[in-house]
Structure 1
Amino acid sequence: MTHEQGAGPLDGLVVADFSRVLAGPYCTMLLADMGATVIKVESPSGDETRTWKPPVYDDRSTYYLSINRNKKSIALDFGNPQQCRIAREIAAKADVVVENFKPGGLAKFGLDYESVRATNPSVIYSSVTGFGNAGGAGLPGYDLLVQASSGLMSLTGAPDSPAYRSGIAIFDVITGLHTAIGVLAALVERGKSGRGQHVESNLLSSALSGMVNQTAGYILSGRVPQRMGNQHPSIYPYEPLPTADGDLVVTIGNDRQFQRFCTLLGAEHLATDPRFALAADRSHNRADLRPLLVDLLATRPASEWFELLTQAGLPCAPINDIRGGIEFATDLGLDPVVQVGSGERTLPGIRNPLTFSETPVGYPHVPPEVDEHRAEILTWLSTSHPKEQQ
């Protein structure tokens, strides 16, 4: 059984994907894009994201379609002994297993790490949970719960607004990325030692790591970060600023940039004003600086300022909707939309952000229907050998 896309960097790797929803499937899709053969093991009713509508594409959930391309599906009822045996055979012959059941949830089916390792000693077994396998083992791992409990929502919104969630399930995505990194690192180590291992990740730990300067700021200074709207706690200006016809995001990251910015605005005196000359002073005196910048930017529309600042090498950006974001990436030559699948079965998708000079990623297969590849997977099981026999 092959991925049928040629020599991607993970060509020849077999991944048994026992995960569902977002963090695990996002991880395994990235591996599949890079050439791994990913076997998506679903319940007979399928991954629940198949039912998350709207929006839809040909009546299929776009949520499901966004994270399940390049995979092969088999539906198995673990409560059925014969079908559970098939799941164990898949795990025994895979290079990598990815699962996001509650801690201990797979032990009764013989699909936990210890059981799989007994038949597949070199397996890289990756477990994704919401809150780890200690005191949080019984907590459901939904991204919004982690956004709330980690502190992210307390940082999102205006100072006088309610706490807000991120516009995407940000910690599911970050955890999926962390999980992919862990799997790849374990594969490198296995190449040196020949041994498998258990790689564990959880949404809350990924959240605390992913909030970088905010979590570090607290543990190092003792100050609890607060909501600041679109402003940055340590850099100014670093926010949307109004122009003659709309907002433009301006991000001035150092003193040299601020000097050029002031020159472009025709306000060189601001760069030498002791309240604003240094980055820390600009942050401290932002309430004084902001209205001065707003008055200066009010003389031109956002599009003109974008051109002028960009030509001067100063970082700024328009505030786009999703369509505008894709069009902007297209204008920059990033080709963000790719064609997934071939022949009569194709659909558009978002490009994998990685490029490889010698082993490119590929998009040969549309996301599978439930149990679409049962016959192919069963044939592979009957003709291949368990890992310990290879």
Structure 2
Amino acid sequence: MKFESLYRHFLLTKATHLPVISEEGELLGLLSKDRVHRELSDLGREREDLEQIPLEILETELHENLLLYFKESTQIPVIGLDGEKKDNWDKPRFLASFTRLDSSQGRDPKLEEIESKLEKKKENADSVQWFMELILSHFPDGLLATDVNGSTIFYNESFENHILTKPLFRDSLQLAEKYLHNLNREVLATYLKDHDLSLGKDADTSVLYTNITELKVTLRIVTLKKEKKVFGFLYHFSPSSFAHPSGDGDLEFPNLGDAFRSKLPLESVLEEMEAHYIHKSLKRNSNNISHTATELGVPRTTLQNRIRFLKLSERFQNEGKVKTVIPRKRSEKPEEKPKKVASKKNSSPLKKAKTVQKPVKSSKPTTKGKKQSPKPRQAGKKSKKRR
């Protein structure tokens, strides 16, 4: 068998590919007319007689030309490995045999590597997406993501348990969507008003801040963009440091960024800053009033009045190191102070009693001394005269 005998099958039909079957009648692949042409055009090669059609030249992909062939003809000739015509198949039989074809026999190993890489990439992408959802769901602050129209796409457990249950939202997601959608417009309008209604290079609306006093949180509104197109908004609810003073010793205060974003009255911000500043100084001086007053450059009485006015013991009651009664000396303890005051009060009346009795005792000896003093002097004078 030579390739010339294979080419004669294509002269009798308009098909560009012919099915090749085994002795059992199973489809092994498709013989291409172009491949036979290439073999015949190589004149410098001596073509030997073939026992059967090489499986390497058979194709396993279904071409569009072959499907178009069935629109013009109802049957397609089928040849065997020996190069002879075996049967004629209609379209349903051909498609049924083609679905049973084992595509792994003539597949390119590079294609298998590419497909395996794509599968691994898809698995990694799914695992990363799953892990990201796990992180967002357990994020300590409340998160809510909406589309451009304000409809909810995602929210985590912190938002559901700590934000949505507040009286402002009344555990209603629709009420929260409506409130945040209107608030987003108001914050953007305020930003544009502060920047002279311009969106130039200096204006950055990707992240906006506001404070919700009813929830006692600082709200961060993040615009979700992709290729300069807005797809939605992310609302990040973080606890406000002014609304919840923790008294944490490691907290660096004042944080001017939080102060500017809080939108609280000036007096509240100044009191909060002063309270933290005095609290820090007291800790550095082991809660000694005199040393702290010297460090701050104020009189001790002024510092004591400010401590009472700012209610430091109530502000920092969660911190175990701060004592409710601040001692004046380092050696003194808060519990011993009332005992010392009581002892002083008891000792004062005794001292007064002694001072009252002293003039009574002192008056008698002084009178006796005055009467007895002239007698020895007179006796002395008489003795001298006698002599």
**Greater C-alpha Rg:** 2
Higher relative contact order (CA 8 A, sep 6+): 1
TM-score, normalised relative to structure 2: 0.19
TM-score, normalised relative to structure 1: 0.19
| More helix by percentage | 2
